[in-house]
Every structure is written in C-alpha cells, then in structure tokens.
Amino acid sequence: MRLPRSVWKCIEVELESEEGARRVIYILTKINHLNIVKLEGIYYGANPYLVYEFAENGSLRDCLSNKKLDRQLTWLRRMQIAFDLADALHYLHFCTAPAFVHQNINTRNVLITANWRAKISGFRLAKPVISDEEKEDIFWNKHMTPGREAHWTPEYLTNGQASLQVDVFAFGVVLLELISGKDLSRDGKILKDSVRFLFDGAFEDSSHCLEKLKEFMDPVLGGDYSLGDAMCLAFLAKGCMEEDPHHLPTMNHVLKALSRIV
C-alpha cells in the first residue's frame, strides 16, 4: 500500500478480537515518538488490519540473521539502535500519562528503518500502568498470553505480575543480542548459558572476562568495535537482568548510562 510521500506496509495483526485491536489503537493514538512505529490506518472487518509505518530493513532480528544486512550493522549503528530503543522505552515509562509497559520487547519487535534507526512495534501486549479501579473501566483486566519467555523477568515468571521492570529486563536481553548477534529469545537456557560469564564472578578477573566477552561478540564485527564500550554495554545488560527486581535500574538510569557511551 502506498500513501502520499511515503511507502507503508499493511500488516494483519494477530489479534484475537476487535477488542484486541482497540487496545493497540488506544495506545498508539495516545503516544508520539520518533522511535515508536506510527499507526497510519485501520481496517475493521472479520480480520482487523492495522496499517503501520514501513521499516525498510525489517526487524532487528532480520538484520542480525541476514548475511547481507548484518555486515551493514556496524558497531556505531548497533550503539545508535540501543540508544533509540532505550529512548523509546524511557518515553513510554516516564513521558506519557499514564505510563505504558510494552511487555514484549525483543529483536523481532524492534524495526529498523532505511537509515538504521530503531522503532518499537508489537504493542499487542502493551498496557497502561493504572490502578485496579481503572482496570475495571476499560479492557486491560483481561488475561493476555505472555511474549517470548526469555524476555520476561524472573519476578513475572514467578507471580505473573507485570511492571515496567519487564521492559527493563527485556532491554537487557536485546542489548546482548545486539552485541553478540545471537538469537537468545528462543530458549531461556540458551540465554543463561551464553551469558553465564556475566554472572559467575568472571568480572572479578578482568583478563578472563575480556576474553569471554571477545568470544561472545558477533564475529561479523571482525573486531571493529570498542572493547571498552562493549564491556559497558555488557555491564548494563547484566544490571538490567538481575533476578532481584529491586536491583533493576529504571529506563531513566539506563538512558543516562547509554548517553555517556553513545
């Protein structure tokens, strides 16, 4: 589908009902940010269609998995994508009223534009952070199937309570995928095994840690990256993935940390 001055893609959103479509529309018509995909049109019918802004380079996972695209995904571009994602999540958490939690951040829901900027998509599970009384008034109190398990905090997997920390934890996972190129969203065990060196005390032995980090880095980069910056991102990802939710940073802290790196 082509709209004036731009190219857009019509996507059939996998929504269980018209009510599900209304949830997405409710959120996307209340927010506006450079790094959040724009909703450009709506079709109501047996299968609701939502027309979104078209991202020429597909999803971040597409870019990391495609041999042609991943070589264009330079270290500087990866750093910018990390910042874009953090900026968008900071906006959702701190700059909207009410705040919104996305609940399904992963490399498949981060779209990449022609100029290698990131835009968050996939708002099917998103919801506002509101009181229990407000939940009774609209459609946020219905059960919704969780996203990819590897991107959910241990707290959520234990008691099912969603919070802004879900997005923080998921951001940490995306950071690790950005620097390693690995698809860590398929299996929680793969995620834990691949980053064990971050949590097993390896940071106490800096030389051992640096070697482990080099092994973890995406080989496509060919060493063309700042090891110091990579270490900072690994530290930041580790902080975002702490099991104790009380020790997790906010996206405000994350954005400030990235601002000093990017």
Q: Phi, psi at residue 155, to the nearest 5°?
A: -60, -45
| CA dist., res. 234 & res. 165, Å (int) | 18
Give the per-residue pLDDT at 161: 53
CA dihedral 210, 216, 222, 227 (to 10 degrees): -30
What does pLDDT average to over the chain? 81
Length of the chain counted residue by residue: 262
Q: Which helix (H) or strand (E) holds 50?
A: strand 49-53
Question: The tokens 């020429």 sit on which residue?
Answer: 56
Return the axis-axis angle of helices 164-180 and 251-259, rounded to nearest 10°. 30
What's the mean pLDDT in 84-100?
Answer: 97
pLDDT of 158 reads 47
Residue 204's pLDDT is 55
- At residue 147's C-alpha, the angle toward residues 143 and 148, to 5°, is 150
* Sequence spans of domains, the chain: 56-259
Average pLDDT over residues 34-50: 83
Residue 147 tokens read as: 């996203």
Mean pLDDT on 228-234: 93
When mean pLDDT is compared across 38-42, 79-83, 93-97, the lowest value belongs to: 38-42
**Full-model pTM:** 0.85
* Whether pLDDT at 151 is above 50: yes
Q: How far apart are CA 87 and CA 258, in angstroms?
A: 10
Q: Name which CATH class applies to 56-259.
A: mainly alpha
Residue 189, SS3 per DSSP: helix
State phi, psi for 42 to the nearest 5 degrees: -140, 135
